[in-house]
Amino acid sequence: MTSIRRKKFMHPGLLHTNEDFARIKLQKQHGGWVEERAYNQFVNDAYSNPDHALMGPYECVTREFSSDYEASAEAFVGDSQAARQLALLWAIDGNEKAGRKAIEILDTWAGSLKQFKGNGAQLIASLTGGTLIQAAEIMRYTSDFWNPASISRFETMVREAILPPVTQTRPNEDQKLPFIGNWGTSAEKALIAISIFLDDHHLYQLGKKAIQFAPCANLTGIINPTGQSSDSGRDQQHTQLGLGSYAEAFQMMWNQGDDFYSLADNRLLTGLEYTARFIGGDDVPFDTNFFTCHCSVLGGPWKQISQDGRSLARPIFEMAYAHYTVIKGLKMPWTEKLINSEIDVPHELNPCGKSVDQKPHAGRSKPSSYSNRWWLLPNLALSSRGLNGVEPGMSRQLLQAKNVASISLVCLCRPQIFVSSALTANV
């Protein structure tokens, strides 16, 4: 059994660290028109408005249209996205009005949210709850105006409302098939974020073990040795959701000194290369015997790789590409080709505010106005140590790649995506 980790967590230490913020400020000050355009898009985005009108809160959040809380999912997504972008605006620019609005959103939901209901409870708690926690981590450790009592109340809400659906592995009346496929990868990502925010070493170990050993949502069960995803036969949107969730989880763990990017012979790299190659227009091998647990409820098992979502590349590649190619010195030719291509995510499909599968849930939140044109951004804060002897937790994000919208914000639009953060995307 793995021993419980006792080393102190580094804060802020989710997708953004103090080192990241220093680099972003430097790029903002000395960057060119690409950085300027990206920053302007971020600042002018609807979710970056310090006068954001709260859409919630709700006591119960559900994606079920027939529920009395039908509007709750849209409100939770919108407010969580705003909280994170406003927290970033505070950390980057020192915009106190934005920071205080972020805290207002955090406090408002902390005082009301009690539970998640419905068949999508695990997904929205993991993906959108994770977005809210990203905001909380930033405000807690970069400001002095979020009072301890409010922070404690937010922590209680995370433990009592968000954590239960995130960690559910046994079926119940609402969640009949929890922790399978991308439900599991999303939950694993959220569990890592929650554990760091709460300074909970036990939860952190649970997250690490889940990524390695969860029966229907472990790294080698999601990505096979050729790079095929267990969702490759379903569609490319869900495939990218899983890959992006792992990229975010691994980056947070890297910031804490753990290198899961290297797990299983750099399996995430292999998965990104396979999907980038296919999205970019090339043929890839397909194993009909590799698929998601209980895939029959999704139309599987599949006889061939899905064309659904092909050529729609989500912004899930940049962060891992930067890590593997710059920090590790590895090659990712198919990913490099993709991020230098003209392939784009149409505005209406931008997962910063939309559902990954564009089913009815997609109408519940407006998309961010970010442009998804991709660029390679120059690094302006390379470590004086160079690349030799780089360890987990050192020289994070020496190079930030792609996506004008990110302005090296460690992928604002990620999984949320996943993007975001996946981060606010729902399945």
Per residue in 116-170, pLDDT tens?
Answer: 999 899 999 999 999 999 999 999 999 999 999 999 999 999 999 999 999 999 9
| Sign of the torsion formed by the C-alpha atoms of 241, 158, 167 and 10 | positive
Residue 349: partners with Cβ closer than 8 Å, 6 or more residues away: 312, 358, 367
Q: Which residue has the higher pLDDT, 352 or 122?
A: 122
Q: What is the pLDDT of residue 118?
A: 92
Lowest mean pLDDT: which of 9-13, 32-36, 120-124? 32-36
Is domain 22-284+304-406 given the CATH code 1.50.10.100 in the classification?
Answer: yes
- Can you point out the beta strands (E) in 60-138? 60-62, 115-117
Lowest mean pLDDT: which of 34-38, 43-47, 183-187? 34-38
Chain-centroid distance of CA 346 in Å reads 19
pLDDT at 79 over 70: yes
Q: What is the pLDDT of residue 427?
A: 31
376: three-class secondary structure by DSSP: strand
For residue 124, CA distances in Å to 54, 128, 274, 294 come to: 18, 5, 28, 20
**Alpha-carbon gap, residue 294 to 48, rounded angstroms:** 40
pLDDT category at 342 given cuts 50, 70, 90 is: low
**Alpha-carbon gap, residue 246 to 154, rounded angstroms:** 26
pLDDT category at 173 given cuts 50, 70, 90 is: confident
pLDDT at 68 over 80: no
**Alpha-carbon gap, residue 49 to 82, rounded angstroms:** 8
Taking the domains of the chain in order of start, what are their residue ranges?
Answer: 22-284+304-406
What radius of gyration do the chain's Cα atoms show?
19
For residue 25, CA distances in Å to 47, 82, 91, 125, 375 come to: 20, 20, 9, 31, 19
**Averaged over 206-223, what is the pLDDT?**
97
Q: Which residue has the higher pLDDT, 6 or 108?
A: 108
Q: How many CA atoms lie within 13 A of 224 on its CB side?
A: 15
Residue whose structure tokens are 């994000």 = 397
Identify the bridge partners of residue 62 per DSSP, sorted by sequence position: 117
DSSP 53: P
**Averaged over 314-343, what is the pLDDT?**
90
pLDDT category at 218 given cuts 50, 70, 90 is: very high
How confident is the model over 194-212, as pLDDT tens digits?
Answer: 999 999 999 999 999 999 9
